Amino acid sequence: MSNPSSEPHHKHISIWGVAALGIGSMVGAGVFALLGQIAINVGGDTWVVFVIAGIAALLSGYSYARMSAIFPSRGGVTDFFAIGISSARFERTLSTLYLITLVLTLALISKAFGAYLARVLHQSSSPFWVNAYASGVMIALTLVNMLGAKVVGRVEVVLVTIKLTILTIFIVVGAITLRPAMLENHAQTETSMMFSSVGLAFFAYSGFGLMASAAADVTDPERDMPRAFMLAIGW
């Protein structure tokens, strides 16, 4: 198989645009969609779960970053499978499972968006409005992707800026109203629940995998991809 980096392509996405792809996915799945479920599962140990999952994500992200730097392509992880696995059947199976995971992640985030927007605009959790807004945002983002990598990068930067602004407000308000005593007394978390919650948190972090698909549109993948990965996971 030829090196994907030898394929002709245009360079349009900056390091901030690539990082925004990862941050947008991680914030969408990890904070807006899964944080509540993890908090229900483990209560006051939620921060422990995210620290453990974050360390695992950092190590995994470093591997993704190095592969993206050496083999930049629009196929991302699926191309990594093709390069590193000699068995075509096994490689296709892993690629299919990975693509299914991406579809589930996108569905999860869009569903959360639909639920939030339905409550804001209609004060309702009606399945009709939730599904309508979830489908609408998927269609809108598909159209944005059709406009090219440069537009996608700019849109992601704007969206991530909005998300991080909202999170900053939450952090400031939370810090002001924090009551540490409430963190000291909580039920002991079962080991099985802790492990399953770490898995959920890592699933939230795993949005950084989307960044690998942008390597072909970066001017200097060897320099920019590791920086973008570490920037995104560090946030």
Mean pLDDT of 9-15: 66
Q: What's the one-letter identity of residue 15?
A: I
Between the CA of residue 103 and those of 100, 109, 110, what are the distances in Å?
5, 10, 10
Identify whether 183 is part of a domain. no
pTM of the model: 0.64
**List of residues 6+ apart from 13 with CB closer than 8 A:** 149, 150, 152, 153, 214, 217, 218
Instruction: Tell me which residue range forms the domain holding 155.
Output: 11-177+212-234
pLDDT at 1: 45
2 lies in a domain? no
pLDDT digits (tens, 9 = 90+) for 157-170: 787 788 778 878 87
pLDDT at 4 over 80: no
pLDDT at 93: 92
Q: Would residue 205 count as lying in a domain?
A: no
Query: What are the distances in angstroms from CA 58 to CA 156, 161, 229?
Result: 22, 22, 9
Tell whether 189 is covered by a domain. Answer: no
- Domain membership of residue 196 (yes or no) is no
The token duo for 41 is 């599962």
Indicate whether 63 pLDDT > 60: yes
Q: Is residue 220 part of a domain?
A: yes
CATH number of 17's domain: 1.20.1740.10
Task: Output 146 or 204, whichever has higher pLDDT.
Answer: 146
Residue 165 falls inside a structural domain: yes
Give how many domains the chain has, as a whole number. 1
Tokens representing residue 127 in the block: 């399945």
> Domain for residue 201, yes or no?
no
The one-character DSSP state at 30 is I
